[in-house]
Amino acid sequence: MSLPMKRLLIALSCAMAALSAAAQSTPPDDALYRALGGTPGLTKLMADFVPRLAADPRIGEFFKETKLSELQKQLVDQFCVVSGGSCVYEGETMKNSHAEMKIRKADFNALVEVLQESMDRQGIPFSVQNRLLARLAPMHRDIVNTR
């Protein structure tokens, strides 16, 4: 797995740890998870999203040495947790995994665009996409580290 990918996974982990801590203090709301189709829906989404990331000319370089199947699995777990599912994410924190990757705001935005394309292709309603993106947005501060 490439260093950039490891850092991406670490950054995602941090966000997940924070969400897990919050989830322990309140009853879980899995409405978004269910709206995304649960684990099967997230698996299908990531099967479309991860290859698009790797092929994207703007950000594909970050994934060139990444084991895409492992990334896909970790993203399913992470998105499951973020959306309120009962999965467990065991990857690195977002901050640690992205610390030395020199990720710019434009790189982050490109990833979001690719995710939106994948969600569109999977027929995920716009309102559900917005709810997911709102939950993922706080990761920005742990991922973007270069101007």
Please say whether the structural domain 3-142 has been given the CATH code 1.10.490.10. yes
The per-residue pLDDT for range 63-115, each reduced to its tens digit, is: 888 899 999 999 999 999 999 999 888 878 777 777 777 888 999 999 999 99
Asked whether the whole model's pTM tops 0.85, one would answer no
Domain boundaries along the sequence of the chain: 3-142
Nearest CA to 16 among 93, 75, 70, 106? 93
Q: Is 140 annotated as a binding residue?
A: no
Through-space distance between the first and last CA atoms of the chain, rounded to whole angstroms: 25
Q: Are 87 and 39 in contact (CB under 8 A)?
A: yes
Q: Are 37 and 47 in contact (CB under 8 A)?
A: no
With a cut of 80, say whether residue 28 has pLDDT above it. no
With a cut of 50, say whether residue 135 has pLDDT above it. yes
